[in-house]
Amino acid sequence: MFQDITIEELLKKRASGEMTTIDVRSPSEYRNASIPGSINIPLFNDEERAEVGTIYKQVGTEQAKTRGLEIASAKLPDFIAQFQKIDGPKTVFCWRGGMRSKTTATVLSLMGVQTYRLVGGVRAYRQWIVEELGQLQLNTPAFVLNGHTGNGKTLMLEKLQQQGYPVIDLEAMAGHRGSVFGGIGLQVNNQKAFDSLLIERLNEIGKAPYILFEAESRRIGKIEVPAFLLDKKEQGVHLWVELPMTERVRHIMEDYRPAEHKEECLSAFQRIKAHIHQPIGVQIEEALHGDQYEQAIALLLEYYYDPKYQYSADKMKDTRRVIIEAGNVDEAVKKIKEHLTTLTNTVQS
């Protein structure tokens, strides 16, 4: 018979690499919010779930169970086979640890597949996340990557994280770049997914001597950044990166691929057009319509984004800002690492 497991027990096993977590809810439920790192093997697809739910509401519980059994029975061999391909212990979960995960765990146990069921399901995990965020205190020093739009800050963070630095990539967690154009070409996450990824990452870096993240506003798209990180941003040392305009335009072209998302770029521009004085706004719009994206980006940077960033920079005390001038991202990363070594030694002493 399968065993029940609490969220605390599950997280300990996952941390040691001993457990695969499997979400048996429908694909749309999984995409909306799940436990990070989990895979999706749905007992019902979205249409089947909707059908069973309709029967439950309009006819009754027993009829819904009967229809659910009919649907599940027809595809059990393939369903079980997917679990058998996964080595080691597995934990299955649904929304509340109810019928779908119980049915799955029972069938798998009968087939000799070692299985746990998460008590309380995703709802219990979400409650744990909320509690963790509510009581979290970061006493670790913060270094904040800052600078003008297009400087490749996200790429720098990616490279640093790959090299083992304690990076918190907030934009990656949000699935959004932060600006009015920020969601173009990305799979935008909701607050639940963001919170889960944030807690997972904070647990991964553990007792690092410092944390490193990009300077963000209170909101990244529709995601709200927790107050403790905003406080850290205000208290931290800002590494202000400056790259040449040509490099910045190139980064934006590579990152946003405006030729592939022309209508989205035009739509986003309309939301800020009124804040750009004429005739520059007209020139930008004409450049976008004419596929002259480098020109449009350069004008946006010079007349809209750079003045906004410069205003923030002028308010910042020089004692909290370190200027890093570089010709490209790789050179900037090298200098950031050198500054982190020096600054960390200074903070620790």
Catalytic site residues? 94
Give strand pairing partners of 21: 91
Q: Which two tokens stand for residue 8?
A: 């605390």
SS3 category, 104: helix
Secondary structure (H, E, C), 156-222? HHHHHHHCCCCEECHHHHHCCCCCCCCCCCCCCCCHHHHHHHHHHHHHHHCCCCCEEEECCCCEECC
Question: Which uninterrupted H or E stretch holds 88?
Answer: none
Separation of alpha carbons 22 and 35, rounded Å: 9
Q: Yes or no: say if 215 and 239 are a contact pair by the CB < 8 Å rule.
A: no
Separation of alpha carbons 146 and 153, rounded Å: 7
